Amino acid sequence: MVRNQIEGRGVSDAAVLDAMRKVPRHLFVPESLRSVAYDDSPVPIGSGQTISQPYIVAYMTEAVRPSAGQKVLEVGTGSGYQAAVLAGIVERVYTIEIIRELGQSAAQRLENLGYPNVEVKVGDGYFGWEEAGPFDAIVVTAAAEYIPPPLVDQLKDGGRMIIPVGSPFMVQMLMLVEKRGDEVTTKSLLPVRFVPFRRNP
């Protein structure tokens, strides 16, 4: 999976590749879908949600340039897979899921698999996680109509956020947001399709 789908498409950050090799993706998908866990595609995880294609997880992780010692926020825990990938690189991961059932099972799964540096919260990630911030990086894994201002506020100076922006059920754009002092810049990176960023469970 890593060699063909990820390195082969240009992801080169050693820490990201290493983390992608270590996380057992088959344990983050429903048992009946284990045989397709390492395929080059998203996988349904219940409640109408999906775990992103491996390449997209790696691409988004590399885009925020994670490194040891950092504190990262993820919005859209889903299965907990993206959080586990980040947890293998940075010091602490905070992740928010709006669907209680998914948040609770992801928290359980991450605990069972031994990721003590991930904290899961059930709630609306639009507001971020103020008490835990500011963050070196923020990874949003659901498509928002616009970039939630509270998330920009919770980025550290020099911090980066990756977020799919655009209308639900259409092609969205993966955007990289960078904060330097009072200046916030955005860059369009890649057309993608994500499940919608919701405001109600």
Residues that bind ligand SAH (CB under 6 A): 45, 49-52, 75-76, 78-79, 81-82, 96-99, 102, 124-126, 141-142, 195, 197-199
Structure tokens at 197: 């960023």
Supply the minimum distance, in Å, between the C-beta of residue 172 and ligand SAH: 12
Q: Which of 12, 35, 52, 67 is catalytic?
A: 52
Task: Give the rounded distance of the alpha carbon of 19 from its chain centre.
Answer: 13
Residue 121 or 156: the one with the smaller Cβ distance to ligand SAH is 121
Supply the minimum distance, in Å, between the C-beta of residue 195 and ligand SAH: 5
Q: Active site includes 41?
A: no
Radius of gyration of the CA atoms of the chain, in A: 15
Residue 30 or 158: the one with the smaller Cβ distance to ligand SAH is 30
Residue 65 or 198: the one with the smaller Cβ distance to ligand SAH is 198
Alpha-carbon gap, residue 77 to 97, rounded angstroms = 5
Supply the minimum distance, in Å, between the C-beta of residue 181 and ligand SAH: 28
Alpha-carbon gap, residue 22 to 147, rounded angstroms = 31
Contacts of 163 (CB under 8 A, 6+ apart): 138, 139, 140, 144, 147, 151, 174, 175, 177
Structure tokens at 164: 């799919």
Q: Which residues are catalytic?
A: 52
